[in-house]
Amino acid sequence: MNIKELLRDAKSQLDESGISQVDAEHLLAHCLGISRMDLHNPVVVENTLSNLTDHETVEETFYTLVDRRIGHEPLQYLTGLAPFRHLEVEVGPGVLVPRPESELLVDAVLQHISNLEGIVSVVDLGAGSGALSLAIATEAENARVIAVEKSPEAIYWLKRNVSRIDEKVRIVEGDVSQVLIGVKCDLVIANPPYIPNDQKLPRDVAGFEPHIALFGGPTGMEIPRQFIAAAARLLKSGGVLVIEHTEEQGLVIEAELALDFANVVLHRDLNDRPRWTSAVRR
């Protein structure tokens, strides 16, 4: 097996399809059971190849994955893993791939938690794979996290990740408007489906990731309103809501928060795009 030839061929195919050549390295490393960085370490590669009993099958698997990537199947679905902060969460069909942009949101949440004394109760509405819940639970010792999710397909991945990474995270299955009745918490993070139903999405997203986690209704705000109402019910007075949204929804989100929240602040991502909003429960 000639690693350089395999990569050169796969990168050429991906490039012709408008897909990042780096994905070839991720896929080959996955097939070999090593990291992408180790793929560039001749000693590690030689040892790995010498321990392989069936080079042909590995090559076939690799090219099958390359073909699926050319078909725009998300890279994270093909490898089964998505990096998020210091974690690698398992993902696959039925659950949204966690976005790097959400890492800044987690930074802000962790900073807020560090300013609070004692145990801090956190509810993650629309937890999906559990990336945000698990990042907070593993990085803030005083956080007690509840992950809420209603999609059975997403719950499958959520349970896998919680059992593998941090079993202290409590999973609650159900619609955000119907769960945790009577419960009060210090912090709510919300990642509702917020994309308008008629908005066009990239093929990687539209063709594979779950629409239930993406589309928020005709205007995109129908489901976020439900999440905001749930957060208002769950939060103690002085508790904080952090909610993700599209670049265009900042003013609408602010208007929705006006009744029950104060100190509404719009936050931007690393590309200076409006990405999420924080607010304090009155």
pLDDT digits (tens, 9 = 90+) for 121-159: 999 999 999 999 999 999 999 999 999 999 999 999 999
**Which pLDDT belongs to residue 128?**
98
Q: What is the pLDDT of residue 55?
A: 86
Per-residue pLDDT tens for 66-98? 999 999 999 999 999 999 999 999 999 999 999
Q: Of 233, 158, 145, 256, which Cα lies nearest the Cα of 243? A: 256
Q: Is-contact 245 266, C-beta < 8 A?
A: no
pTM for the predicted model, two decimal places: 0.94
Q: Using 50, 70 and 90 to split pLDDT, how confident is the model at 270? A: confident
Which CATH architecture is the domain 95-281 placed in?
A: 3-Layer(aba) Sandwich (3.40)
Report the mean per-residue pLDDT for the chain. Answer: 96
Q: Domain-by-domain residue ranges, the chain?
A: 3-71, 95-281
Q: What is the pLDDT of residues 211-248, one digit of tens each?
A: 999 999 999 999 999 999 999 999 999 999 999 999 99
